Amino acid sequence: MAKTTLSGDEAIIAEAKKRWAITEDKSAEERRLMLEDIKFSIGDSDNGYQWPSSVMMERQADGRPALTMNKLPQFINQVVNDARANRPQIKIRPVDNGADKEAAEVYQGIIRNIESVSNADLAYDMAVEYSARCGLGYFRVITDYIDDKSFDQDIIIKRVSDPLSIRLDPNYTEPDGSDAKWGFVEDKIPKEDFEALYPKAEMSQWDVSEHGDWYSEGNIRICEYMRIKETPKNLQLLSDGSTIYEGDLIPDGLTVERTRKGKKCEVEWFKITSSHVLERTIIKCSYIPIFPVIGNEVFIEGKPYRSGMVRNAKDPMRQYNYWASAETEMVALAPKAPFIGYAGQFKDPKWKTANTKNHAFLEADQLDIDGDRAPLPQRQGFAGVPAGIVNAKAGANQDIRETVGMYNASVGAPSSETSGRAILAKQKEGDSGTFHYTDNQSRSIRHLGRVIIEMIPSYFDTQRIARILGEDGESSEVIVAPEAPHALQKHENEKGEIQQVFNPNVGKYDVTVTVGPSFASRRMESAESMVELARVIPAIGTIAPDLIARSMDFEGAEEIADRLKASLPPQVVGEDGKEPIPPQLQAIMQQVQQTTQAIDQQKQVMVAKEQELAQKEQDINSASDKLAAQKTVFDANAKYLKLELENAALKQQQGEKADLQGMSAYVQQLEEMVVHLSNGLETIADEHDEIKENE
């Protein structure tokens, strides 16, 4: 039977279904556990997610309490709020000659603006929250036109509100997902919107999903399918160190230095149902723009096992719920504390309501049935909850904290620690136990920075005005000019304003991530430090009140600072509004300048001395070479003399006459040569010592 070859949209849909099936096969168990973790983390008495269904039904049928005392949200919120207080910040740095430090700051400002416009903080927070809940969260990047009348596109960071709607290539191993080759994003839209957006498409949905109830709710399920497309293409190295693909426009003044084989990677994006490709486009980057944020991760036989805080805390949480329910049940079933006395003592009708009403007094008959004085009735006390239940409940509570890695001080609860140092140490212990959640978030945000740096030259490909944000939130503008000769240059416009012209195609840049308090938090800390310093040193409040006011974060602080600065005397603030240099500082600067000049002169002397010493050492090395040659001759002569002496001794034994006089003269010459060599070696050693001392 001949194999059917599909083409066009049919081939795309067939490939998508095949790859979807791969994700179903390899990640079904992981997704099941994630869903259970999410449900368990939001469990309450109404949904009963923290109780086994069979146990819950039995207890409800018997009228027994099944309480849910969910303690997990406080730990999850602690991780998320730590991430909010110490947000990762993308930092850009130049890495080649074509790049520029100021251009890197412009790149950074553009990324800050993208994050601000996109509400990226929501995307980051939701991703780290799901990583703590179920072990895996996501955020993503999309592109869209600025408005309906523009051809310019913006880069947008988007949150993923349901991590189960994402299916990423299950073969990826990098924690930031940078090695994934394809991915899916499942979505739903109302039927009316589907008909309005795609009037020619058949009313069908992506029917290979496990969420089969969406269609019945009046929604159409669709799917975004992304795959990396690799196209062989030669890469060219230009004379300024930058690279382009063969066929791309070469900037003026540059030439091609080298060419090698390469490949161009792009992401093909499709919006599909089971039978139609509704939309398609090219995302100009070489990575799938979906960014996982993982929690805990280990590999078992090559397969990843990911979990969050909830997974290991389930059993102690169930245990706590059970003992809390048992405690409540025991108290609820205990009878009202009764009064015990003899028959006939409770004639007063108030005794019947003694457990329900507050009476001023109760009367009892003094005599028993035999006429003897009877003791007063006594209340029988409640035996109380057994100590075993109380201890088991406390143990389960401690087990929850140990499994999530947080203790009382970490969540602000009172603990046995009394000193500030001990409390901070305990908090740090808890932070260390959960630091990997925010650290994994930082890795994914760093990869996001690399992707945006790669996308900016492709989407800012025409001249336009781009908004950039500073670290303090102040906005400014830059002219994006892809044809500009340099990464960044400044010029003055007709109004006398300095404008920056930025070319994102020039230079290569790298991405790092720093984690710490936001600019507003650092500003608040700075203001507190300034106020405290002014309290200790009152003179600071006199000479720098404008700086203290400017560091405050309230409306009108800048205006107050300007007025305070204007009221300062000229000796504190210069005539032109610039801060003057105090006389003491001027004297120090002059002294530093003089010292610098003296150091420069001394360096010149040292350079000349080094050259002299180098020449002398060269002469010594030459003399050493000559002595080495003389020593070689001496060794040869000594060897010859040894042989002659041995021959002379042999001749004497045989009665022959040897020329001892000639040998004696030869020995004298060798002795003189030994003295010469010794003196030469001593001279060289002395000169070497002198050079070392000079150095």
Q: How many CA atoms lie within 13 A of 357 on its CB side?
A: 9
* Most confident residue range from 133-147, 235-249, 322-336: 133-147
* Residue recorded with tokens 């062989």: 232
3-state secondary structure of 88: strand
CB crowding 95-118: b at 16 or more within 10 Å, else e: eeebbbeebbbbbbbbbbbbbeeb
Least confident of 235-244, 296-305, 476-485, 587-596: 587-596
DSSP lists the bridge partners of residue 223 as 186, 272
Please tell me which residue, 689 or 457, carries the higher pLDDT value: 457
What one-letter code names the amino acid at 651?
K
Q: What are phi and psi of 155, to 5 degrees?
A: -95, 130
Residues 47-51: contacts with CB within 8 Å, 24+ apart? 50/314, 50/317, 50/318, 50/321, 51/318, 51/321
Mark out the alpha helices in 538-582 (DSSP H runs): 539-543, 545-550, 557-567
Least confident of 27-31, 301-305, 351-355, 477-481: 351-355
Cα gap 106→11, rounded to integer Å = 43
DSSP lists the bridge partners of residue 65 as none
Single out the residue of 440, 649, 407, 469 nearest to residue 106, CA to CA. 469
Cα gap 212→657, rounded to integer Å = 124
Single out the residue of 564, 569, 509, 589 nearest to residue 95, CA to CA. 509
Q: What are phi and psi of 671, to 5 degrees?
A: -65, -40
Cα gap 309→326, rounded to integer Å = 26
Single out the residue of 224, 225, 228 nearest to residue 286, CA to CA. 228
Query: 437 and 124 in contact (C-beta within 8 Å)?
Result: no
Distances, alpha carbon 318 to alpha carbons 50, 267, 324, 327, 499, in Å:
6, 46, 10, 14, 63
Q: What is the pLDDT of residue 231?
A: 86
Single out the residue of 227, 247, 241, 146 nearest to residue 183, CA to CA. 227
Q: What is the pLDDT of residue 1?
A: 39
Please tell me which residue, 668 or 373, carries the higher pLDDT value: 373
pTM of the model: 0.68
Phi-psi group of 352: left, alpha or beta (phi > 0 → left; psi -120 to 50 → alpha; rest → beta): alpha
Q: What are phi and psi of 44, to 5 degrees?
A: -145, -175
Single out the residue of 399, 397, 404, 402 nearest to residue 436, CA to CA. 404
DSSP lists the bridge partners of residue 222 as 187
Least confident of 118-127, 303-312, 573-582: 573-582
3-state secondary structure of 71: coil
Average pLDDT, stretch 196-220?
Answer: 71
Cα gap 664→119, rounded to integer Å = 103
For residue 103, pLDDT beyond 80: yes
Query: 309 and 389 in contact (C-beta within 8 Å)?
Result: no
Single out the residue of 470, 508, 441 nearest to residue 124, CA to CA. 441
Instruction: Tell me the pairing of strands 303-307 and 88-94.
Output: unpaired
Cα gap 478→435, rounded to integer Å = 38
What is the token pair recorded at 595?
């010292």
Q: What is the pLDDT of residue 366?
A: 74
Query: 23 and 30 in contact (C-beta within 8 Å)?
Result: no
DSSP 150-177: ---EEEEEEE-S-GGGEEE-TT--STT-
Single out the residue of 249, 279, 293 nearest to residue 513, CA to CA. 293
* Residue recorded with tokens 């955020």: 139
What is the token pair recorded at 583?
């006389």
Distant-in-sequence, close-in-space partners of 344: CB < 8 Å, separation ≥ 6: 365, 368, 369
Burial class (CB in 10 A: 0-12, 13-18, 19+), 368: middle
* Residue recorded with tokens 């449900």: 39
Q: What is the pLDDT of residue 214?
A: 42
DSSP 398-414: HHHHHHHT--GGGGT--
For residue 212, pLDDT beyond 50: no
Q: What is the pLDDT of residue 50?
A: 93
For residue 517, pLDDT beyond 50: yes
Instruction: Tell me the pairing of strands 182-190 and 166-168.
Output: antiparallel
Q: What percent of the chain has pLDDT over 70?
A: 72
Query: 128 and 293 in contact (C-beta within 8 Å)?
Result: yes
Distances, alpha carbon 482 to alpha carbons 137, 150, 503, 624, in Å:
36, 18, 5, 65
Binning pLDDT at 50, 70 and 90, where does residue 596 land? low
Binning pLDDT at 50, 70 and 90, where does residue 594 land? confident
Q: What is the pLDDT of residue 13?
A: 93
DSSP 373: B
Q: What is the pLDDT of residue 118?
A: 93
For residue 325, pLDDT beyond 80: yes
Distances, alpha carbon 659 to alpha carbons 585, 634, 648, in Å:
91, 21, 8
Q: What is the pLDDT of residue 334?
A: 63
Cα gap 601→13, rounded to integer Å = 77
Average pLDDT, stretch 342-352?
Answer: 76
Least confident of 218-232, 534-548, 583-597: 583-597
Q: How many CA atoms lie within 13 A of 690 on its CB side?
A: 13
For residue 222, pLDDT beyond 60: yes
Query: 392 and 380 in contact (C-beta within 8 Å)?
Result: no
Query: 215 and 203 in contact (C-beta within 8 Å)?
Result: no
Cα gap 397→410, rounded to integer Å = 15
What one-letter code names the amino acid at 609?
K
What is the token pair recorded at 415?
């603990």
Query: 155 and 141 in contact (C-beta within 8 Å)?
Result: yes
CB crowding 401-427: b at 16 or more within 10 Å, else e: bebbbbbbbbbeeeeebeeeeebeebb
Burial class (CB in 10 A: 0-12, 13-18, 19+), 560: middle
Beta strands in 452-561 (DSSP E): 464-469, 475-480, 488-492, 498-502, 509-515
Q: What is the pLDDT of residue 581?
A: 53
Name the helix (H) or strand (E) containing 223: strand 219-232
Single out the residue of 523, 532, 529 nearest to residue 551, CA to CA. 523
DSSP 350: G
- The residue length of the chain stands at 695
Single out the residue of 1, 101, 64, 76 nearest to residue 509, CA to CA. 101
Please tell me which residue, 129 or 681, carries the higher pLDDT value: 129
What one-letter code names the amino acid at 403?
T
Binning pLDDT at 50, 70 and 90, where does residue 115 land? very high
Binning pLDDT at 50, 70 and 90, where does residue 313 land? very high
